[in-house]
Structure 1
Amino acid sequence: MNIAEFKKNLLQDKISSAQEWFFIISVSLLCMIVFISSDVFLPFLPEMTKYFNTSMSLSQMSLTAFIVGLSLGQIPHGLLSDRFGRKSILNLMIPMFLLATLGCIFSKNIEFFIICRFFQAISASACIVIGRSLFSDVFEPLKAQRAFAVLVPLVSLSPALAPSIGGALSIYFSWRSSFVFVFIFGLIISLFVFIFLPETKPIEKRTKNLSLLSILNNFYIMLTDLKLLYYIFIVCFSTAVWWVYAAGAPLMFHKMDYSAAIIGLLYLPAVIPYFTTSLIARSLLKTKSVNYILNIGINGMMISCLLLFLLESFNALNVWTLMISVTLVTGSNGFLLSTAMSAGILHFSKNSGLVSGLLGTLQLLAGAFSAALIGLFANVFDKHYYVNLTILFIVCGSILSYVLKRKVIKHEAIKSF
């Protein structure tokens, strides 16, 4: 591959099909680094607690520090990349990520380790925010949406994949191996960024003003735009429903007397349909509208909700019926998340970095809200609690989605009139 020619053709949206897939997969890996670095060390937590001679709660603070850093970093990185360019921010943040990862590897105490995890998250947040912005920079809208339909499910696979990688490493190596893996992964990503990625945000298309007044004005415009609010809500709704299962599955299946190894495998039936329906959504975008695809997802959620209600009513809940219902829920999510995420970013393509950061932060908060609810009722969480909470989320989310959609349609009709 001629690198100079690839960069030139990429900026003109004239790359071949093979080069397009290379770019999409590379950007997906850039975004995946966030969740790989977040979760790959989880199987090592007991070993790390012993090594640092500390408590399990303090060891888990390293995960909290990562989530806080990820939350704080996304919007600023979006703003800065809109103003100074995508690659210039990545050129600063990727070396910072590698240094923070080295800090984790060579940590001698838990306090320094937690600090390194925080800066690892701050720098990694640039990768996912800017990664989501790249497609809107170089592709026309339809191609960008189809690229998102590949990126989002691949990134969503990483939280399930990372602990499995960590578990495999734990058989042969110490806890440091998980961060050596992350460091090597980061080096591979840096090669893509430094060698193959051109600056996709030219000077003439950058935000000219980063004053507080300008930033607040941009937020006001975005948060009063009904269509963007609708897309944001769909992203948060679908994420919250997924996290009820993601955070609750270990508690639920443990009470059903399944081992940790089996519980890990029970994530696969949830992830595979999500990835499959995201690819179906990608194909549908050739001929169908965004609203058509979102309607499929919401209708699928309601069917899943009805199935869960019937299973609960007839006392037919077991691992098999639960997995069938979870498959329907996550399959419906595949139509919702990538479609709404891409539509939201493309709706404000001029400030795609800021929108990407805003969407990512709110998505993270939605997932944290679900996880917090699970943690609050951890002692009583079982299959019945999971079903009732999922039904509540789907019913409320579907009703609010319908109300917001009607408002958007009415507003668009008034504008066109």
Structure 2
Amino acid sequence: MKEVIRNRFLLMCAVVMMLVLSLFSSDIFLPALPDIVRQFGVTPSQGQQMLGHFLLGVALMQLVYGPLSDSLGRKKLLIFGTSLFILATFAIIYAPNFKDLLALRLAQAVGASASIVLGRAIIGDLFSKEEAGKIFLTLFPIVGMSPALAPMIGGQISNLFGWHACFIFAGLFGVVLLFLTLTAVPETLPREKRNPLSAVDVMQGYIALLLSRRFWHYALIPCIAYAVFYAYIAESPFLLLKQGVSNKVIGFTYLSLSLTYVTGNLIARWTMSKGLTLDKALATGYLVFVAGGIVMFLTTHFAPNFYIGSITAISIMTLGNGFLLPLGTSGAVTAVPHNAGSASGLMGAMQIGAAAIIAGIIGPLSGHNPQTFGMIVFVLAIAGFFIFQTTRRLSYRADLNRQLS
């Protein structure tokens, strides 16, 4: 633990990169997606599978990395995953056809998923729920900017050098993370705290989480938030083109999402520093989130070609996500003591799985129609708030019964 304290700054830099890697890599190519679609001769909905395949791989592998890291430790798995990510990312540049490109995206996801699970687990190893919440609120302004900044960066890179350069950039990002992992990240899970590695133990760990109302209460929050965000991320290149935005400037439209997300993080951090509880801060974030869903419905219904309305609506929702994502993550990872790795993996699988599903179906479901898309976002926002309030009451009752027994 002394080594952790001695290298705290570099460790936090590495953790930020771990949390950013998969989110950054999932989105950096999006402004160039119409170019990729044209080069490989596929439909826009098929092109969106590049996002869906990646997210699905990240979701499924988190179920594996979580319990493995609880048994084998964090660092070795992180080195393995980051190395695989680097190899797959550079290989994408040479993909001869779209089928191989999708396969490499899946391999890229298998590697990237290690970093997001282990980054959260490392924080869970070192800090309590409230401390972890404050740390996530410190780190998540940077982390949360990545899905929005990545398309902006990717747009400029692809405009200058072509879509292949987006993946070269992502691969170099992985190289830097691997270097930091080797030099600045210690093993944060001592051998005496590791769980035995067996299918029975893994299943028992997941069953304990699945039976925990507190885990469900917190883990479902990032699921809804990510589903809405990635519905927009997947649809936006085609939605904004239909609304009259030039392909060359689409990347810049994501800047507002970064700014509002960071603003939400800062407000959430300030409210918690004033004594607001985790659940009350989450409730505040959900009210903002729902307000954005209402704006999205109204603007796309009454002014379907008004792109400023769509960008404003999703920006309000990302302001709410500034509360929901870090605080929901903190609550879920610390919900069941001594099971941070499995909790991180299961929550991440649910969270990214929700994003993968919505990214895969949003095109066919909406028909790339702004009004239909706005209705889907509105329904998701209202459903998410209802689920949050319901699980909050159930979790409170379970805690009260446990105290009385």
Partner of 2:267: 280
1:386-405 equivalences under 5 Å are: 386-405=373-392
Distance (whole Å) between structure 2 residues aligned to residue 376 and residue 32 of structure 1: 29
Larger RCO (CA within 8 A; separation ≥ 6)? 2
Q: Deviations over 1:353-373 (max 9, x none)?
A: 111111111112222333344
Amino acid at match of 1:345: V
1:310 & 1:91 partners in 2: Cα distance?
47
Q: 1:94 to 1:374 in 2, by over 3 A?
A: closer
1:145/1:285 contact within 8 Å kept:
no
Kept in 1: contact 2:14–2:185 (CA 8 A): no
Q: Does 1:256 align with 2:243?
A: yes
Letter in 2 for 1:396: A
The equivalent residue for 1:4 is none
Task: Tell me whether 1:266 sits opposite 2:260 in the alignment.
Answer: no
Task: Tell me the TM-score normalized by structure 1.
Answer: 0.85
Cα separation, partners in 2 of 1:263 and 1:169, compared to 1, 3 Å: closer
Partner of 1:376: 364
More displaced stretch, 194-203 vs 385-394: 385-394
8 Å CA contact 1:65–1:117 kept in 2: the answer is yes
2:309 is the counterpart of 1:297: no
Query: Aligned pair in 2 of structure 1 residues 311, 220: CA closer, same or farther (>3 Å)?
Result: same
- In the TM superposition, 1:106-125 aligns within 5 A as 106-107=94-95, 112-125=100-113
Q: Which amino acid aligns with 1:181?
A: F
Letter in 1 for 2:230: W
Q: Aligned runs of 1:36-47 on 2, under 5 Å?
A: 36-43=24-31
Q: Which residue of structure 2 aligns with residue 230 of structure 1?
A: 217
Does the 8 A contact of 1:87 with 1:193 survive in 2?
A: yes
Q: Do 1:237 and 1:397's aligned partners in 2 also have CA atoms closer than 8 Å? A: yes
RMSD: 2.9
Match of 1:345 among 333, 345, 361: 333
Preserved contact between residue 73 and residue 122 of structure 1 (Cα < 8 Å): yes
The answer on 1:56 being equivalent to 2:56 is: no
CA distance in 2: counterparts of 1:325 and 1:44, whole angstroms = 24
The code of the aligned residue for 1:8 comes to K
C-alpha separation in 2, matches of 1:380 and 1:62: 17
User: What is aligned with 1:361?
Assistant: 349
388-397 or 80-89: which moved more?
388-397
TM-score, length basis structure 2? 0.87
Q: Aligned letter for 1:246? A: I
Instruction: Name whichever of 98-107 and 393-402 sits farther off.
Output: 98-107
Give 1:80's match in structure 2, choosing from 68, 72, 80.
Answer: 68
How far residue 276 of structure 1 moved from its aligned partner, in angstroms, is: 1.4
Structure 1 stretches lacking a partner, 5+ long: 1-6
Give the C-alpha shift of residue 312 in structure 1. 7.6
Cα shift at 1:240: 2.1
1:168-207 → structure 2 map (5 Å cutoff): 168-207=156-195
Contact 2:227 2:354 in 1 (8 A): yes
Higher gyration radius (CA): 1
| Deviation string, structure 1 residues 125-168 (Cα, Å, up to 9, x no partner) | 10111111111112343332122123334333223333333333
Q: Does the 8 A contact of 1:136 with 1:144 survive in 2?
A: yes
Alignment match of 2:118 (pick from 119, 130, 136): 130
- Quote the residue 2:402 is aligned against: 415
Identity of aligned residues (%): 30
Q: C-alpha separation between the residues in 2 aligned to 1:78 and 1:102? A: 26
Following superposition, the deviation at residue 212 of structure 1 comes to 2.1
* Cα distance change on mapping 1:100 and 1:311 into 2, 3 Å: closer
Paired residues for 1:234-245 under 5 Å: 234-245=221-232
Deviations 1:35-92 (A, max 9, x none): 33333344555666787xx533577665554334223311111111110000011122
Structure 1 residue aligned with 2:18: 30
Structure 2 segments unaligned to the other structure (5+ residues): none
